[in-house]
Structures are given as C-alpha cells and as structure tokens.
Amino acid sequence: MNPTADIVLNRPKAARRRKPFSIGKGAALILFGILFVTQLYPLVWLVLYSLKNNEEILSGNFFALPAKFLWNNYADAISGGNYWQYLLNSVKVTSITMAAVIVLSSMVAYAISRFRFRYANAVMLVFLLGMMIPMQSTLLPLMVIFKKMDILNTHMAIILPYIAFQLPIAIFILSGFMKTIPHEIEESALMDGANIYRTFWSIILPISVPPMMTVCILTFIQIWNEYILAATFISSASLKTLPFGVYSFVSQYSANYGAIGAYLVLGAAPVILIYFLLSERITQGMVAGAVKG
C-alpha cells in the first residue's frame, strides 16, 4: 500500500477542510478589533483617570500612566461621597423595580400571548407605544401628579416611572417567548385540575426563566445609573442614589477629579460585573422566542 496515501487518509478532517485566509475574513477581524478597542478604551481610561491627581488629569495627556497610583482616591470616594448609603438606596430602588417589572410584565405577556381575545394585538401595540415616549417629556406631568399624590421626595416617586418605562420592552420580550410555548402543556395541566393561576405560576413562569433573566439584566442596567428622574423627584440627601455622589467632590472653586473618577468606577463596577457574568443570558433570552419550540 502506498505510504503517501496512508498519510493523506489519516490526515485529520480539520486539516483537509482548512480554508485559505481571505481578504473578507481579515477585514472582519480588523473591524472587530477596532470595535473592541473603542469599547474597551473608555473603561481603561476611567480606571487610569481614577488613579491620578488633579495636575495629571488637567495636563490633557489622556494616554499617560499615572506617575504614582493614588489608591487613596478610592478611600476618599467611599468616605466623602456617602457611597454606602447611596449604594443601599440604589439597590433598594433597583430591586423593587426589577421585581415589579417581572411580575407585571409576565402577567401581561401571558394574557396577550396565550388568551384568545379580539383586541390582543391592539393592547400589545399600546404597550409598545410606550417605548417611543421620551422620559424627559414626562417630567412636568409626573411632577404635578406626584405632588397631588404627596409622594414627591420619596423613592416611590422614581420607582413608579421606572416600572412604567421598563414594562414595554419587558412585555415585548416575554410575549415573544410565551407564544412559542406549546398549548398542549396548558391543556394537560387543565385536565389535571390546575386552574389558570396555578398553570401560570407553576408551569409558564418556570419555562420563561431565560427571557425573564434578560428582562432583569436590561432593567438593572437602565435603572442603576439613571439620573434625570432621580434629580427631579428626590431632594433629600438620605434618599439619593449613586449618581448623586459625584457632586460630593465638587465645590465652588475646586474639584477632586481623581475621587470623582474613583466614584464613577465604583458606581459602574456592579453593572459591568453583572453584565459580563450574565451576558450569555441576555443573548439566550433575546433569541429564545425566535425559534418555534
């Protein structure tokens, strides 16, 4: 038997199927490299910014490493910016908002996607219209409403708008997934004696965990660093959230820019950490309803 033929036959399939490097593949790699650098650089710059003193920051040399890493900027940020109090307020507001959005959006999505009624599409359209309303356009009417409700300068004054603005996208994601759930599952549960509420809580919700995780992550990212509504409806220092801590380092004639950078890093760290840990969940939830299950 020809030994050359043996070598060819025993060659791994991956080696035989290897394609030559193409110009298109090289261009795509260059494009992705540029996108990666442009997305990563602001984070790296912010970390370097937080470790410099005012002179180095104001020098305008953005690419330079700090002459000395000033880790005490982070200690100043925590002690001088009421970090723990504002962090607790942000966790409280964000947690309540996420829980309310999940419960309300899942019930609405279940009703729209699983119940047979004439105006299901119209109801869905009404909720989707909420995605096109700018948050800034609601400040004045909300101020009037909340003043009459006597909830200004409370966390409820920002939690309610947060829930309202996050519901449309949450309903859109969950309803798209729930439409793919086979109706036979519900029919079997009804035949076994389960009512509509038991079917929803015990069957539909557990199946809908992937898109619900996506809703939680998107809601967290949107609410964590929100400033406009919080600045409009919250005035007490004890109720303010993380974005307000930056102003603790700005006075009439000076500013501690290093501490400001450190505070921004501390405020963004939870969002970045959660996103990288659960980024795969976002993709799974967004495409969960794209394929009929």
Per residue in 141-196, pLDDT (tens digit) is: 999 999 999 999 999 999 999 999 999 999 999 988 888 888 888 888 888 888 88
Is the confidence at residue 89, as pLDDT, over 90?
Answer: yes
- Looking at every residue in the chain, the average pLDDT score rounds to 83
139 CB-contact burial (10 Å; exposed 0-12 / middle 13-18 / buried 19+):
middle
Question: Higher-confidence residue: 283 or 230?
Answer: 230
88-97, 124-133, 164-173: the lowest-pLDDT one = 124-133
- Average pLDDT of the segment spanning 68-92: 90
Cα–Cα distance measured from residue 147 to residue 142, given in angstroms and rounded to the nearest whole number:
8
Distant-in-sequence, close-in-space partners of 276: CB < 8 Å, separation ≥ 6:
none
Between 6-15, 135-144, 165-174, the lowest mean confidence (pLDDT) is in 6-15
pLDDT, tens only, 254-289: 788 888 889 989 988 888 888 777 766 666 655 554
**Most confident range, picked from 70-84, 88-102, 199-213, 221-235:** 88-102
3-state secondary structure of 255: strand
* SS3 at position 250: strand
- Lowest-pLDDT range, 7-16, 108-117, 168-177? 7-16
Percentage of the residues of the chain whose pLDDT score is greater than 70: 87
What's the confidence (pLDDT) of residue 158?
A: 94
Is the C-alpha dihedral spanning 148, 152, 155, 161 positive or negative? positive
